[in-house]
Amino acid sequence: MRFILRRLGFYLIAFWASITLNFLLPRFMPGDPVSRMFARSTGRMQPEQIEALRKLLGVDDRPIWEQYVDYLHSIVTGQMGVSISRFPTPVTEVIASQIGWTLLLGGTALVIAAVVGNLLGILAAWRRGGAIDSALPPVLVFIGSFPYFWLAMGALYLFGVVLGWFPLRHAFTDGLEPGFTWEFISDAAAHLVLPALTIVLVSIGGWMLGMRNTMIATNAEDYITMAEAKGLRPGRIMFRYAARNAMLPSVTSFGMGLGFVVGGALLTEVVFAYPGVGYQLLNAVQGLDYPLMQGLFLTITAAVLLANFLVDILYVRLDPRVRSN
Amino acid sequence: MTQSRFLRSARIAAAGLAMGVLVLTGCSATASKPAAGAENASAFLTIPREDMGTFIQNFNPFAPAVNPMVQQSIYESLLIFNPAKGDTVPWLATEWTSAADGKSVTFTLREGVKWSDGKPFVADDVAYTFELQKKIKGGFDYLEAVTAEGTNKVTFTFNKPWSPALYDVGQLTILPKHIWSALADPEKDANAKPVGTGPYTEVDNFQAQSFVLKKNPNYWQPEKQKIAGIKMLAFAGNDGANLAAANGDVDWAPQYIPNIEKTFISKDKEHRQYWFPATGSMINWQLNTTKAPFTDTAVRKALSMAVDRDQVTKIGMGGYAKPADCTGLSGNYETWKNPALKDNCTWTKRNVDEANKLLDQAGYPKGADGKRTLKDGKPFEFKISVGATSSDWLSVANVISQNLADVGVTAKVDSPDWAAVVAGYETGDFDSGIVWSANDPSPHKYFNTSMGTATVKPVGTKTFDNYHRFGDPKADALLAQFAAEADAGKQKDIAYKLQEEYNDVAPLVPLFSGPEWGAFNDTRFTGWPTEDNPYATLSVRAPTTVLVLTTLEPRK
């Protein structure tokens, strides 16, 4: 219990530090949201409107500490304000209307990549020098080292345009009404395959190699030899004795990955026109949309810290050494 | 669509995962509707939007990032100026007259126009719209009062003679007073179910990735609502939108498509066309005239003469843009151009010898190494700032930099993020840059922002139009005359003189008329504007867009 409390205190400090950075970083960037908006409109906006717009959007010239106090207050009360680039839509609404798809895409890809990657790693280490061990890692590393944008475009072109197996864009067929119907769910699933698959392809190599390497170290331990000497079934030794102990780094990575899912797979969303928050974040940064940026960063920070906290708790169960510390 | 067995099993496997998102996105369980049929009559006109990754159900025309079609198909304006033909189409107003003193203009509104909720469109709506616009967004500083006379006449009074006002007030989209006056915070209302006078107003099936606008049941020209509706698709960049266009999934492709003959047209030559009229704003290379040596007119002209505009448009703009002439006016103002001047340009044509001579005379000697020096002996060197993401303008800057080397001038291309570039422009902390310019139906604004002293701010003070900070009192006198003149013929004479002054002082280095991108696929809908029938441009964000929406019809 004391361990968990201590961790909680640590997380509170980390949280404060990151929200303070969230506050400061965008304000160090040159310009302000309104002149940014003006420049981006390349002549479609009138200069006379700038003052009025500034007032309307609440872009203020107050001292920075005053803005900071307000900012902290808004975070504690959960009032994220109104998005500037999507004015007058509240930040919470902008995020809420899209984050579902981001979580679905990122979550699916993460789970598949982690489960399959780890299983492959376990098998590769168990049969060292076997077919899986010698063939797969170089191939996966090769694919993983492609620029993602290129890989995704290539997959879209091959499987979408040329072969026509998968839809080219969006999370479901335009015109379909979302609902718990078989038609809609299968349609959404078909739209998910290609974007999720490309993320899995580039990330799976990392999972596999990580697991394989820790497994190899674990396999050399005395208790594995002992288990073999006792005549236990190989499957039991592989999963209960070796993999269970080799899994700790993977659990950490999974926790980290879980947190970052919220940030969205920016490039995937751009290539497949998938309606998520990734592109929204890029847009917010480019447009100096402080409220939306802060809302998104806050969501990401909270998710990362929460995921880490869960991993910490899980570690207490998985690794007895943590408890004695 | 071909669907393999593999796909079907993948669907089943992934279906379970998709269940979760429904809870997260808060969708209600409703019966699904069949997709639009193949028949053209019931098909939606499909248009991509390339710079919005997702849509938000917000149809407030005061929003800085207005949803597509709000000002094109939902709300309409009193008149529409068509730059492709140079004519003006009466729209919600049937006629207008300017007062002899140039201090007011009176519009007669069209009879029988109704809002989409069935209420009549009246003069009060116009007056209220301007009141609201001034309050929320500002601008219209010259506008003293907007008075409704009866139900069908509106008079705009100005605090000075101001002829450019006609298109300014004439092209603002009009809102219904009975709806907007009832809102507590009109600027903060999402206006999720808009009421307008336009042809397609009824929002249907709104999703983050797409939405549909269906027919306005009370439109004033029902015979022109020939298509069933408009469907907008969201894309987070040109690539996705271009893929959709190449694949034949959209009817209208208003975004920039590189190598369009090969990537778009060649896939279906019979049905696909593009048309890039030079009606965009003039793209200028602007020199910071508060800094030496750009203070010197001879230097500005010599540098301009060194630029090879054919190479600039060919390499930088894929051959789609039209080189500028010494009137400074883009293709949008073709009818305003001074013919005597246009055909006798000197400093906007490449002439390396002449440029060298000009620089020698002006006192910028060429050294033994072939490089020129400034009057104080320092090297003749400066930066051209362009945002890193604009690859087309970056290559324009690179071409200019190479061209300048021929006259011994060193120009370095500096390409940080656009935000940093523009911050420099605004405060006057830059050498030179590639910049767009004002694009209005009347050329007044272009000349006012390129050489009017009223728009010049001292270095350090933010400015939003005259970045190069050039002011010319002679131009001021002409601009004032222009604004006070109500007679179109006399106005043109003054515009000619403005161009002569522009030609004399060279406030900017005009490069090329920006093309208005646009392509279409007429498999499902016919009646598109083309070079031979330029009743509108192919832009989907221009006031002329509504002309296209009310002309297209399903192919039979």
Rounded to two decimals, the pTM is: 0.84
CA distance B355 to chain A (A): 31
- Is B429's Cβ below 8 Å from some Cβ in A? no
Per-residue pLDDT tens for A40-53? 666 666 777 777 77
Residue closest to B118 by CA, chosen among B257, B47, B191, B217: B217
Inter-chain residue contact A178 with B207, CB threshold 8 Å: yes
- Structure token digits, residue A185: 């769910």
User: Distance between CA B277 and CA B492 in Å, rounded?
Assistant: 23
Complex ipTM value: 0.82
User: Distance between CA B513 and CA B434 in Å, rounded?
Assistant: 13
Inter-chain residue contact A186 with B15, CB threshold 8 Å: yes
Portion of chain A with pLDDT greater than 90, in percent: 10
CA distance A125 to chain B (A): 28
Write the CB contacts of A237 (distance below 8 Å, at least 6 apart in sequence): A224, A227, A228
Helix (H, G, I), strand (E, B) or coil at A30: coil
Per-residue pLDDT tens for A295-324? 888 888 888 888 888 888 888 887 777 766
DSSP state of B232: E
pLDDT score recorded for residue A219: 87
Inter-chain residue contact A189 with B12, CB threshold 8 Å: yes
Inter-chain residue contact A180 with B419, CB threshold 8 Å: no
- Is B38's Cβ below 8 Å from some Cβ in A? no
Name every chain B residue with its beta carbon within 8 A of the beta carbon of A39: 418-419, 422, 425
Inter-chain residue contact A101 with B30, CB threshold 8 Å: no
Residue A127 φ/ψ, nearest 5 degrees? -110, 70
Report whether the peptide linkage leading into residue A88 is cis, meaning its omega lies within 30 degrees of zero.
yes
Distance, CA of B295 to chain centre: 30
**For A92, how many CA atoms within 13 A lie in the half-sphere containing its CB?**
7
Residue in A closest to B35 by C-alpha: A175
B32-46 core/surface letters (b: 16 or more CB in 10 A; e: else): beeebeeebeebbbb
Residue closest to B536 by CA, chosen among B189, B266, B252, B162: B252
Inter-chain residue contact A30 with B423, CB threshold 8 Å: yes
Name every chain A residue with its beta carbon within 8 A of the beta carbon of B420: 30-31
User: Distance between CA B71 and CA B77 in Å, rounded?
Assistant: 9
Give the one of A38, A56, A165 whose C-beta lies nearest to B187's C-beta: A56
Write the CB contacts of B187 (distance below 8 Å, at least 6 apart in sequence): A56, A88, B60, B62, B136
User: Distance between CA A250 and CA A242 in Å, rounded?
Assistant: 13
Q: pLDDT: is A64 or B241 the higher one?
A: B241
User: Distance between CA A83 and CA B44 in Å, rounded?
Assistant: 31
Helix (H, G, I), strand (E, B) or coil at B303: helix
Give the one of A53, A184, A275 whose C-beta lies nearest to B209's C-beta: A275
User: Distance between CA A281 and CA B66 in Å, rounded?
Assistant: 18
- Is A162's Cβ below 8 Å from some Cβ in B? no
Report whether the peptide linkage leading into residue B293 is cis, meaning its omega lies within 30 degrees of zero.
yes
Q: How many residue pairs bridge chain A and chain B with CB atoms within 8 Å of each other?
A: 243
Inter-chain residue contact B2 with A94, CB threshold 8 Å: no
Give the one of B4, B32, B137 whose C-beta lies nearest to A181's C-beta: B32
Inter-chain residue contact A161 with B21, CB threshold 8 Å: no
- Structure token digits, residue A264: 């969205």
Residue where the block lists tokens 């090769």: A142
Residue closest to B278 by CA, chosen among B439, B118, B39: B439
Inter-chain residue contact A190 with B28, CB threshold 8 Å: no
Write the CB contacts of A106 (distance below 8 Å, at least 6 apart in sequence): A199, A260, A261, A262, A264, A265
User: Distance between CA A311 and CA A321 in Å, rounded?
Assistant: 15
Inter-chain residue contact A270 with B239, CB threshold 8 Å: yes
Per-residue pLDDT tens for A211-270? 998 988 888 888 888 888 988 888 888 888 888 888 888 888 888 888 778 776 888 888
pLDDT score recorded for residue B30: 37
End-to-end CA distance of chain A: 12
- Is B250's Cβ below 8 Å from some Cβ in A? no
- Is B420's Cβ below 8 Å from some Cβ in A? yes
pLDDT score recorded for residue A324: 63
Please give the C-alpha separations between residue B356 and each of A244, B286, B403, in angstroms, as whole numbers. 78, 20, 12
Give the residues of chain B that fall short of pLDDT 50: 1-37
Please give the C-alpha separations between residue B28 and each of A182, A231, B24, B191, in angstroms, as whole numbers. 14, 56, 11, 22
Residue A60 binned pLDDT confidence (cut-offs 50, 70, 90) = low
Kindly write down the DSSP assignment for every residue of B94-154, as one continuous string.
Answer: EEEEE-TTSSEEEEEEPTT-B-TTSPBP-HHHHHHHHHHHHHHH---TTEEEEEEETTTEE
Residue closest to A246 by CA, chosen among A234, A237, A256, A255: A237
Cβ proximity of B450 and B508 under 8 Å: yes
Portion of chain A with pLDDT greater than 70, in percent: 94
Residue B209 φ/ψ, nearest 5 degrees? -100, -15
Inter-chain residue contact A52 with B138, CB threshold 8 Å: yes
Q: Is B556 exposed, middle or buried (0-12, 13-18, 19+ CB in 10 A)?
A: exposed
Inter-chain residue contact B65 with A87, CB threshold 8 Å: yes
Cα dihedral sign for A306, A307, A310, A311? negative
Selected for mutation to probe chain B from A91, A170, A270, A289 (highest B CB count within 10 Å) is A170
Inter-chain residue contact A101 with B25, CB threshold 8 Å: yes
User: Distance between CA A192 and CA B12 in Å, rounded?
Assistant: 12
- Structure token digits, residue A1: 């219990």
Q: Is B185 exposed, middle or buried (0-12, 13-18, 19+ CB in 10 A)?
A: exposed
Inter-chain residue contact A175 with B438, CB threshold 8 Å: no
Name every chain A residue with its beta carbon within 8 A of the beta carbon of B427: none
Per-residue pLDDT tens for A269-284? 888 888 888 888 888 8
Residue in A closest to B67 by C-alpha: A86
